[in-house]
Amino acid sequence: MDWLRELARRLNMLLHRRQFDADLEEEMRLHLELRQEEQLQSGVTADDARATARRRFGNTTYIKEESHLAWGWEWFENLAQDVRYGLRMLRKSPGFSTVAILTIALGIGATTAIFSVVDATLLHALPYPEPEQLVSVEDDLPGVGARDVGMSEPEWQDLQRSGIFEYVSPTWFDENNLTGSSQPARVRLLIVAPNYLALLGVKPQMGRAFHPEDHSPGLLEEVVISDSLWKRAFGSDPHILDKSARLDTDLYRIVGVMPPGFDAPGRTAEERNIEVWAATSFYGTPLPDNPPRNRRFLPTAVARLKPGLSTAQAQNRVDALVASLQKQFAGDNPLQSAWSVRLVPLQERVVGNVRQSLILLLGAVALVLLIGSVNVANLLLARASARGREMALRQALGAGRRRLITQLLTESVFLSLLGGIVGLVVLLCTKQYLLRLLPASFPRLTSISISWSVLLFALVSSLVTGAIFGLAPALHAGRVDLTHALKEGARGSTGSGEQARTRRMLVITEFALSVVLMISAGLLLRSFWDLLNVRLGFSPQNVIAVRTRLPAPNFPQNDLYATAAQETPFLREVLRRARTLPGVQEVAIGDTASVPLDQSLRELKVISEGQFFLTFEGRDVQSDQPAAVERSSVTPNYFRLLGISLLRGRFLGESDDDKAPQVAVINEAFARTYWPNQDALGRRFKRNRAGAPWITVVGIIANARTESLAELGVPQIYLSLYQSESRRLTIFLRGHLDAAAIPEQVREQVQAVDPTLPISGSQTLDETVSASLTERRFSMEMVALFALTALLLAGLGIYGVISYMVSERTHEIGIRIALGADRRSILRMVLRQGLGLAIIGAAVGLVAALIVSHLMAGLLYGVRPTDPLTFAGVALLLIGVGLLACYIPARRVLRVDPLVALRHE
Amino acid sequence: MHRDEIPPGTLYLLILRTLERSGEMHGYEIASSIQRISNDVLQVEEGSLYPALQRMLIKGWATAKWGTTAGNRRARYYQLTAAGRKQLEVEVSQFERVIGAITRVIEAV
């Protein structure tokens, strides 16, 4: 602990430096006086006595310095001195300081903001214990081109017993109708194995989790609910654990309430905001008693690896297991489907969707920061030449080169830290507003905060920024030629050729970086523009979609809508009633997959109902694999309501009900894909399932962008809702509607038919179309914002350089004018210099942009990464801005008065 | 009269030993004492005492406090610490080892 005590002594000295110096001086003075007195006694003159005492003592100043230095605080005192000096310099030139600090504040603030999002989503582990052990288990059938197809119950048992996992739990997202409280409500339900909460390692805030080892048949008669549901539907009832909830007409005991802020690890916002967890072991009524191996009805699964097992090791063992199961149950796992199981870190499943956009944004914002740094470096360089005389003087007085460089670097780092603090303060003040810019579906939105790691990031990036932009001016200052500088200093400027070169290099860099950003933004903007202007193939105008859902009780005797025959009267009655609502012209009903461009609904349908595999009539079942396709079920008026045009055959009709043969309308893409060069009308296919009836193609419709705006040719099947049971329903209304009143009006009509049904998710189709672009819009807007900032900074940069050049050459220009030079030709000469910089910068930037744009090809739509229009447009725009930025200061040459200019000397 | 510079590295040894013998001393007393006891042979450049004393304070070999001299003037008195005594032993044995070796080299036939 000696060093600690020593440190304490040193610190004590630092704190009492003044006292220390005074003490030292006093004791040295005493020493000299005593010696002097001693000499006087030996009989010499007073002057001799003083001289002897001094000679024997040595150089007092040197000794004082040595004593002071012994404590080792030189660096600190230099730093404090430099900072104080820096502060004085900043105060002395407020214009420069403000511009520099604001530029850095903008860069650091924006970079830190994006980093805080990256930190929360990509860098922070999921908020569960030992998150690295959590994986998502995903089954693929690459042989039939199907991914993430879900698993069967026996496969779950095999994985559970494999010794690779602590726990495996299938997860099955569903919606349910919560009844019993004031208004029937749709709740998001996750059906899991009883081990699910133990697997995640989370405990309810109240009550208990399921018993992880429970393996009883059927659904457990208990549920765990979310904090928000507890507050919303049960008024935070403290006795909630004694109560029951009625879900889809079945009664469940509420055994636990999850803590607030607990997010389920899901891919979409819907999957993350679970409100009810129900548990089952996935066999026994209402599920089959012995679920077969070939029915992959468990859509998704999560697992916790055994401790000490890495994901890669576990993957190897799973591969071996899959290979042996494939052999053992060859009938259920045909070799050609190439069944495989992937273990994906759970984190990846939650945030995987946003990774690419976030990295793009971080890159863009880092470029802005870099451009800002280059700008400040330029300002500093210009100022450095104004301070050239000061530096030369310091050097002449004996300051070392190293000391000068340290001093200038301290100043710039100090400047940058100030900028960083300003940026951070602005960020903290505007945090609430900025968070609202993020799409609401963004994962881990609630965990975004200005955490310690974010603060550390801001600090480090400020330091690095300061060092980067301070380096060039500092190195220049260290290389001052003394005689030259002092001589030239008389005129007050020392724009050495080398400094001018560095400044030009910096401007070129700035332009190049801006071109990269502008082109990225331009490409994203064009993609977005193209997406906004694609021909949809359907018309969303004046359509509102309202959702409802029919309950699916666990026991068939309670099920009022078990078959299409039971459901059809309900559908017809709702259609009839909805048509009477004010303003309504047309009405149709479809399942949730029929809502165009609602990706999350579509995914939910696959997640909860599994994929739809087809086999085609007249084809060899062995050689021809079943195909997974997109399908919706709709009532006949759906096509007319959405304005989808019929190419051949007929639309679905009112008579296509449960008593009639099953029919389907397909889109052109479907016909082309499965019956190339043949007439698809009249062909038959069926679900790849025992006892499924044949379905005849009766009509072919034009392709529409119902799947995503970016894709036109996705094969689609439309079945008659009267022939297929579908409990998740969407009621489409077209007409001059009052969007605010519609949900209540529809609720009244639906509940007049069945008072237990909930109404949810009322949205105009225009909103749905726009919402489908949310994430693209977000990245595009952010990158565009950064690109504009970059453009502004680059313009300021070239403005600064040209304006400095003009003021530096006022004298020379004055002489030229006095000698009769044409002012216009001088203006042209100055502009040519600026233009040259802009053109070189743009050229370098174009090459760099070629590389970057290929990396972001995945985010583009409709434009190639080398789109010549964007490239040329951006280059021209930038050169134009450069020219303008040069013109403003260059115009001054027109006003130069040769007399004044010559006196400028 | 001729005065010899002290051998390099022995300044600490001299100060430590002087302080050990006399308990408390201020800078002038230390310098004078070294000179007197060595019969005016060892001459410290007096000023160089002070950086050395500072280093001893840092190392914790000595402590300093202000007091008054016989002539009623304020002076800073230095005093050895336990660590200082230990250091003195180290310095002495090191010095003797070096001197012994040098002597052996000189006296070797």
In tens, the pLDDT along A245-267 reads 999 989 999 999 999 988 888 88
Distance, in Å, from the CA atom of A127 to the CA atom of A261, rounded to the nearest integer, reads 10
Question: Which distant-in-sequence residues (6+ apart) come within 8 Å of A703 by Cβ?
Answer: A537, A667, A668, A669, A712, A713
Question: Which distant-in-sequence residues (6+ apart) come within 8 Å of A844 by Cβ?
Answer: A508, A511, A512, A515
**What residues of chain B lie within 8 A of the CB of A58, using their CB?**
45-48
What is the phi/psi pair of residue A564, to 5°? Answer: -60, -35
A584 and A688 part of one domain? yes
Cβ pair A60:B47 closer than 8 A: yes
Sequential DSSP letters for A162-174 = SSSEEEEEEEEEE
Nearest to A24 by CA among B9, B81, B64: B64
Which amino acid, one-letter code, is at A899? L
Beta strand ranges found along A598-694 (DSSP E): 612-616, 627-634, 646-649, 663-667, 684-687
Cβ pair A56:B54 closer than 8 A: no
A280 and A414 part of one domain? no
Token pair, residue A584, equals: 């309504």
Mean pLDDT value of segment A40-47? 85
A736 and A882 part of one domain? no
Question: Which distant-in-sequence residues (6+ apart) come within 8 Å of A235 by Cβ?
Answer: none
Distance, in Å, from the CA atom of A539 to the CA atom of A740, rounded to the nearest integer, reads 21
Burial class (CB in 10 A: 0-12, 13-18, 19+), A693: exposed
Please, which pLDDT band fits residue A652 given cuts at 50, 70 and 90? very high
Mean pLDDT value of segment B68-87? 89
A510 and A559 part of one domain? no
Please, which pLDDT band fits residue A405 given cuts at 50, 70 and 90? confident
Residues of A contacting chain B (CB within 8 angstroms): 2, 5-6, 9-10, 23-24, 26-28, 30-31, 34-35, 56-60, 62-63, 66-67, 70-71
A406 and A467 part of one domain? yes
End position of a domain, from candidates A709, A729, A756: A756
Sequential DSSP letters for chain B = ---EEPPTT-HHHHHHHHHHHHSEEEHHHHHHHHHHHTTT-EE--GGGHHHHHHHHHHHTSEEEEEEE-TTS-EEEEEEE-HHHHHHHHHHHHHHHHHHHHHHHHHH--
Q: Give the helix/strand (H/E) hosting A779.
A: helix A774-808
* Residues A109-156: tens digit of each pLDDT: 999 999 998 888 888 888 899 999 999 999 988 877 778 888 999 999
Judge whether B66 and B74 are in contact, CB under 8 Å: yes
Which amino acid, one-letter code, is at A549? R
A245 and A323 part of one domain? yes
pLDDT at site A800: 78
CA A653 remoteness from chain centre? 46
Mean pLDDT value of segment A486-494? 50
What is the phi/psi pair of residue B25, to 5°? Answer: -150, 150
Mean pLDDT value of segment A25-38? 88
CATH number of the structural domain spanning residue B89: 1.10.10.10
Mean pLDDT value of segment A189-213? 93
Write down the pTM of the prediction: 0.76
Sequential DSSP letters for A220-273 = EEEEEE-HHHHHHHHTT-TTGGG-EEEETTEEEEEEEEPPTT-----SSHHHHS
Which is more confidently placed, A703 or A96? A703
Our CA-based measurement puts residue A85 at a distance from the nearest CA of chain B, in whole angstroms, of: 29
Residues of B contacting chain A (CB within 8 angstroms): 26-28, 31, 45-48, 50-51, 53-55, 57-60, 66, 69, 73-76
**Selected residue of B26, B28, B69 to mutate for chain A interface (largest A Cβ count, 10 A):** B28
pLDDT at site B3: 56
* Cβ-defined contacts of A93-96 (< 8 Å, 24+): A93/A383, A96/A379, A96/A383
**A with B: how many residue pairs have Cβ under 8 Å apart?**
65
**What residues of chain B lie within 8 A of the CB of A3, using their CB?**
none
Sequential DSSP letters for A41-103 = HTT--HHHHHHHHHHHH--HHHHHHHHHHTT--HHHHHHHHHHHHHHHHHHH-HHHHHHHHHH
Task: Inform me whether the pLDDT recorded for A790 exceeds 70.
Answer: yes
Sequential DSSP letters for A92-156 = H-HHHHHHHHHHHHHHHHHHHHHHHHHIIIIISPPSSSSGGGEEEEEEEBGGGTB-S--B-HHHH
A321 and A359 part of one domain? no
Distance, in Å, from the CA atom of A713 to the CA atom of A706, rounded to the nearest integer, reads 10
Cβ pair B51:A71 closer than 8 A: no
Distance, in Å, from the CA atom of A165 to the CA atom of A175, rounded to the nearest integer, reads 29
Distance, in Å, from the CA atom of B16 to the CA atom of A277, rounded to the nearest integer, reads 79
Judge whether A749 and A576 are in contact, CB under 8 Å: no
pLDDT at site A226: 95
pLDDT at site A818: 84
* Residues A299-356: tens digit of each pLDDT: 889 999 999 999 999 999 999 999 999 889 888 877 778 899 999 999 888 887 788 8
In chain B, how long is the greatest CA-to-CA distance? 58
Residue A476 included in any domain? yes
Our CA-based measurement puts residue A76 at a distance from the nearest CA of chain B, in whole angstroms, of: 17
Burial class (CB in 10 A: 0-12, 13-18, 19+), A696: middle
A560 and A521 part of one domain? no
CA dist A535 to A87, A671, A807, A861, Å?
60, 21, 56, 14
Burial class (CB in 10 A: 0-12, 13-18, 19+), A807: middle
Alpha helices, DSSP H only, in A656-696? 668-674
Sheet holding B24-26, edge to edge: B24-26, B74-80, B62-68
Judge whether A14 and B63 are in contact, CB under 8 Å: no
Distance, in Å, from the CA atom of A608 to the CA atom of A117, rounded to the nearest integer, reads 31
Residue A136 included in any domain? no
Task: Inform me whether the pLDDT recorded for A804 exceeds 70.
Answer: yes
Total structural domains within chain B: 1
Please, which pLDDT band fits residue A485 given cuts at 50, 70 and 90? low
**What residues of chain A lie within 8 A of the CB of B47, using their CB?**
28, 57-60, 62-63
Question: Which distant-in-sequence residues (6+ apart) come within 8 Å of A266 by Cβ?
Answer: A173, A272, A274, A349, A350
Percent of chain A with pLDDT over 90: 35
Judge whether B27 and B53 are in contact, CB under 8 Å: yes
A808 and A735 part of one domain? no
Judge whether A613 and A626 are in contact, CB under 8 Å: yes
Lowest mean pLDDT among A186-200, A305-319, A391-405: A391-405
Mean pLDDT value of segment A841-845? 91
- Closest residue in chain B to residue A53, using alpha carbons only: B46
* Residues B14-71: tens digit of each pLDDT: 889 999 888 889 988 888 888 888 877 777 778 888 888 888 888 889 998 898 888 8
Task: Inform me whether the pLDDT recorded for A434 exceeds 80.
Answer: yes
Helix (H, G, I), strand (E, B), or coil: what is residue A440? coil
Distance, in Å, from the CA atom of A837 to the CA atom of A833, rounded to the nearest integer, reads 7
A281 and A391 part of one domain? no
Task: Inform me whether the pLDDT recorded for A865 exceeds 70.
Answer: yes
pLDDT at site A493: 44
A68 and A22 part of one domain? yes
End position of a domain, from candidates A55, A72, A89: A72
**Selected residue of A13, A27, A41, A69 to mutate for chain B interface (largest B Cβ count, 10 A):** A27
**What residues of chain B lie within 8 A of the CB of A57, using their CB?**
45-47
Residue A93 included in any domain? no
Distance, in Å, from the CA atom of A114 to the CA atom of A441, rounded to the nearest integer, reads 17
Tell me the residue range of the domain where A452 lies.
355-532+774-903
* Residues A600-632: tens digit of each pLDDT: 777 777 766 666 778 888 876 555 566 778 889
The sign of the torsion formed by the CA atoms of A15, A18, A21, A27 equals negative
The mean pLDDT of chain A is: 86
Residue A289 included in any domain? yes
Q: Which of A27, A35, A70 sits opposite B55 (nearest CB)?
A: A70
Lowest mean pLDDT among A74-78, A859-863, A892-896: A892-896
Which amino acid, one-letter code, is at A576? R
Please, which pLDDT band fits residue A639 given cuts at 50, 70 and 90? very high
Give the number of other Cβ atoms within 10 Å of residue A539's Cβ: 14
Distance, in Å, from the CA atom of B30 to the CA atom of A80, rounded to the nearest integer, reads 36
Residue A81 included in any domain? no
CA dist A179 to A238, A547, A554, B70, Å?
20, 16, 15, 100
CA A737 remoteness from chain centre? 36
Mean pLDDT value of segment A357-382? 87
Tell me the residue range of the domain where B68 lies.
4-107
Distance, in Å, from the CA atom of A781 to the CA atom of A795, rounded to the nearest integer, reads 21
End position of a domain, from candidates A338, A364, A386: A338
Distance, in Å, from the CA atom of A406 to the CA atom of A391, rounded to the nearest integer, reads 12
Q: Give the helix/strand (H/E) hosting A590.
A: strand A584-591
**What residues of chain B lie within 8 A of the CB of A10, using their CB?**
58
Token pair, residue B22, equals: 């006399």
Beta strand ranges found along A417-538 (DSSP E): none
pLDDT at site A759: 93
Nearest to A494 by CA among A503, A485, A504: A485
Residue A195 included in any domain? yes
Distance, in Å, from the CA atom of A411 to the CA atom of A393, rounded to the nearest integer, reads 18
Task: Inform me whether the pLDDT recorded for A491 exceeds 50.
Answer: no
A328 and A439 part of one domain? no
Token pair, residue A504, equals: 């030009």
Total structural domains within chain A: 4
Residue A164 included in any domain? yes
